[in-house]
Structure 1
Amino acid sequence: MKLCIVRHHFFLWFLIDKPELLPFEGNWNTLIVLANESGRILSDITKHGNIIHVEKYGLEIDFKTFMNILNVPNSSIADLVNHSQNLILHSDDEYSVAKFAKTHNLVYGYVFNPTTNNLFYYVVNRTYPFQFDRGVFIDPNNPF
């Protein structure tokens, strides 16, 4: 994985199939993305003090740990998940699902799919499991 900046007109980003990625030069006030070696964007990245937010996956990770992981060859989102300090909620929909699971005493959490580089939220009841694929929702150990 590597840090890059994206050259694009912001209002056109959703129309561009593959935006141009440029090397990250240390300016955290620009649009920064985490990309894999083939140039596929994995997530937007923001830095707040000593904490890095991996926006798509809702991860919060210590800056030094984040940079150490990036320096490891073949590092992945899974490595960031394993070292993250917190998983954060992004929307009312996700909060509603987590609240529903908690109030109905269901098992809930997340699972990483290394094939697609995605994290999936899951809720399991006694009849059948069902899964939501809108990204990271909560830390199962501390949802609220």
Structure 2
Amino acid sequence: MIRKKIQSQTQKREAKQIVKRAHVNYPVGDFLIRVKNAALSGKSEVVLPKTKLIAAVAKVLKETGFLSKVESHGNEIHVTIARYAKESALMGISLVSRPGLRQYFTAAELARVRGPEIYILSTSQGVLSSSAALKKGIGGEIIAKVW
């Protein structure tokens, strides 16, 4: 009986390691959804695999006040979700552009967008928030809408 219990614990541990190494088709989308799920479930920190695009998106989220801390440790990135009065600063994330359907906004289209949400854009000058892209007068691919 003890041997079976040890075997089942070993199998569970191996299954968790497989999940951590699973291939992700759209890493930025996976990053944003994990951050959203952590914020909505009340968790404060998320550890994710690191890519240049994920690091740039995390930097934009930190600059806009949705994340309080972004740290890089080897191949992982540790992000801490900002909290104001015990509530998460991040209320929701909606993926706009995805691998099967890319969405683009020009600077003129960005100027017409109103509301409390911000857009994260991939532009020719790097990953920017919608307000930073408007100041520079450029458009780009919309990665996500954050509020």
- Check whether TM > 0.5: no
Structure number with bigger Rg: 2
Pick the structure with more helix per residue: 2
So what's the TM-score if we normalise by structure 1? Answer: 0.28
Pick the structure with more strand per residue: 1
So what's the TM-score if we normalise by structure 2? Answer: 0.28
